[in-house]
């Protein structure tokens, strides 16, 4: 099962460490997950070039970003929207959910991270489930890194690897 994190915005030089960590977690998850039918894994970034139009068109910007995010998802992919109103899971629960999705024959699992204004209604409506990393607000680059780490942790749990020691 291919796993992709699709996010609005591009990594800046100020977030080089977070971007490097995100890629490292995904690479490690891919290496460990290969024998479990999990991988390849990737981060895809999209950017709305018209976003500098000003704060008055927040709804339009969210729609444009939503179109870009959904365009990255292969047809038939299972979509997971990261949203503060979504369901929180323990690491074990997240691993169990990944395993269930894989066992149901899913070919592509796409996690979607919106921009500063959140996700459009069309994205949340198309998503099969919504996941929350908690009630706190996090910088987008950290969200990518934390999600990638949780994917790696979930793969390690499914592989009975000692990385996760809860």
Enter the tokens of residue 34: 């290969």
The verdict on pTM exceeding 0.75 is yes
pLDDT digits (tens, 9 = 90+) for 83-126: 999 999 999 999 999 999 999 999 999 999 999 889 999 999 99
- DSSP result, 94-134: HHHHHHHHHHTT-SEEEEEE-BTTB--HHHHHH-SEEE-S-
DSSP type of residue 9: S
Q: What is the pLDDT of residues 2-15, one digit of tens each?
A: 999 999 988 776 67
pLDDT tens digits for range 42-60: 999 998 877 565 666 888 8
Report whether 106 contacts 1 (CB < 8 A). yes
Q: Describe the strand order of the beta sheet including 108-113 as a list of residue ranges.
A: 41-46, 2-8, 108-113, 78-87, 129-131
**Domains annotated on the chain, with CATH:** 2-158 (3.40.1280.10)
């Amino acid at each position: 099962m291919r796993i992709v994190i699709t996010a609005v915005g591009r990594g800046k030089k100020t977030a080089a460490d977070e971007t490097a960590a995100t890629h490292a977690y995904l690479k490690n998850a891919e290496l460990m997950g290969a024998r479990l039918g999990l991988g390849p894994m990737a981060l895809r970034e999209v950017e709305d070039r018209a976003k500098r139009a000003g704060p008055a068109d927040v709804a339009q910007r969210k729609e444009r970003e939503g179109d870009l995010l959904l365009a990255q998802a292969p047809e038939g992919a299972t979509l997971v929207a990261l949203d503060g109103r979504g369901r929180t899971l323990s690491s074990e629960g997240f691993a169990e959910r990944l395993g269930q999705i894989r066992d149901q024959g899913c070919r592509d699992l796409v996690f979607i991270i919106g921009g500063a204004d959140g996700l459009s209604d069309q994205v949340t409506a198309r998503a099969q489930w919504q996941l929350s990393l908690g009630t706190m607000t996090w910088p987008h680059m950290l969200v990518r890194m934390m999600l990638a780490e949780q994917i790696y942790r979930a793969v390690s749990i499914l592989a009975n690897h000692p990385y996760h020691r809860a």
